[in-house]
Amino acid sequence: MKQLIKLPAIILGLVLLFSGPPQKAMAQYDDISLDSFYDELSPYGTWMNDPQYGRVWRPDVDQRDFRPYYSNGRWAMTEYGNTWVSDYDWGWAPFHYGRWVLNSYSQWLWIPDTVWGPAWVSWRSGGGYYGWAPLGPGINININIGSGGYNMPSAWWVFIPQRSIYSNYYPRYSGVNINIYNRTKIINYTYGRDRRTYYTGPRASEIRRVTNRDVRVYQVSRSNTPGRTSISNNRLNIYNPGTRGSNSAATDNRRGNTVDRSNPNSRGDNNNRGDNNNRADRQGTVNRQGSTNSRNSGTVVENSARPSRSDANQRNAGQEQNRQSQRTEQQQQAIQQREQRSQQQREAQSQQRQQREAQTQQQRQAQDQQRQQAAQQREQRSQQQREAQAQQQRQVQDQQRQQQDQQRQQAAQQREQQAQQQRQAQDQQRQQRDQQAQQQRQAQDQQRQQAAQQREAQAQQQRQSQEQSRARSTESNQSGGRSGNRGGRGN
């Protein structure tokens, strides 16, 4: 029967294997639908209809600082090449599926797609820099980029020094440098897997050479835990909501193997448990008693003298009275014993209650004492703490006052020193002024003396010149008189 069931299943599996579409077999990570994007990304952004691209998603970020494959993330080398590691909780989708576009309002919009990739970007290298830019809508690996082919807008490119390619943080984007852009060339390194081709960016050997550091290659692992991409040990864990189905299916399978306890047939047959109480045993006991009575009666029959019925009746009545009186005495004794036991029990219970009440009272008193002690201890501790705090505050205040006194003393000393210095400076200045005034007076006296001497010398010279002129005039008068005398004599 099992072989008959397995045969159709094997045939059906072979039919599905050979008749199914080949693209589903080669798509390693095509286990996601567009509805998953709408559900998963709605809390982190806004879905809108674009007249050119249709349904697009805009993240709730500051668009002035946001750059796809640059903001809040970093690169890591995996078996696919350079893979983007986003620190956004929603980074698993827009940086590994679909395309980005910058609209006319300078807003980055994401266009969803179901094809997974390590990062849908184009790369450039040169002049000591690495650069990358998001692939635009409709751009795939088969389109020639650069060298006369398609070129992403220059504003989409970002560049960093080659030594910083694996930095955990990139500086704030301040615009593309055209000079750097012109010194770089397109990197068209690709990696193929499962009939898919991905841009890898710079190779690990090149990065080792330019950075002079080892490059660790991580293995991409798809996780069903929502959240940001993480690196643990040698794995790069990227969330994928499509992996949740396997867990639910396993749960359903496990549930299918659970026994249905609602079926009464599955329970144990416990109805035979009462069969052990067999009435035949009780009947056998009666028979044994009956046989005993028969033996007793037989013993009576063996007596040689059979009494009369009246004697027997009297004896029986007397025995019955004796038995009745014995039973009465026994009952009274039993009643008295029960009364005594009940009295003893009541007394014992009363004593126990009293003991419990005493213990409870003692416990309450002990608890009250403990609470009082605890309250006193707390009060003491709080009092000690308050006193310690007050002491500390007083010490701090004393220290502050001492510091203030020292500062005031230092300030007074400084003021006194400054005043002393100023007085000394003023005294020196007065002395200098006095010396200068003395020197000036001496100079003026010397000048006056020199001027007086000069005037005296000039007056002396004038007197001498006057005397000389009078002397000359006298001599000339005398010479003229002599000449006149001579003339008169001649006549």
Q: What is the pLDDT of residues 294-350, one digit of tens each?
A: 333 333 333 334 445 566 666 677 777 777 777 777 777 777 776 777 677 677 767
The whole model's pTM is what? Answer: 0.46
Kindly give the pairing relationship between strand 235-239 and strand 217-223.
parallel
In a domain, 140, yes or no: yes
Bridge partners, 85 (sequence order): 74
For residue 256 the two structure tokens come to 């299918």
In a domain, 430, yes or no: no
In a domain, 451, yes or no: no
* C-beta separation of 229 from 85 below 8 A: yes
Kindly give the pairing relationship between strand 108-111 and strand 99-102.
antiparallel
Please tell me the total count of domains within the chain. Answer: 1
Q: For the segment 85-123, what is each residue's pLDDT rounded down to a tens digit?
A: 999 999 999 999 999 999 988 999 999 999 999 999 999
Report CA 417 to chain centroid distance, whole Å.
58
Phi, psi (5° rounding) for residue 55?
-75, 120
Q: What is the pLDDT of residue 138?
A: 80
Residue 374 has pLDDT above 80, yes or no: no
Q: What is the pLDDT of residue 110?
A: 97
In a domain, 453, yes or no: no
In a domain, 96, yes or no: yes
User: Residue 37: which domain range?
Assistant: 29-246
In a domain, 365, yes or no: no
In a domain, 268, yes or no: no
In a domain, 164, yes or no: yes
DSSP state of 308: P
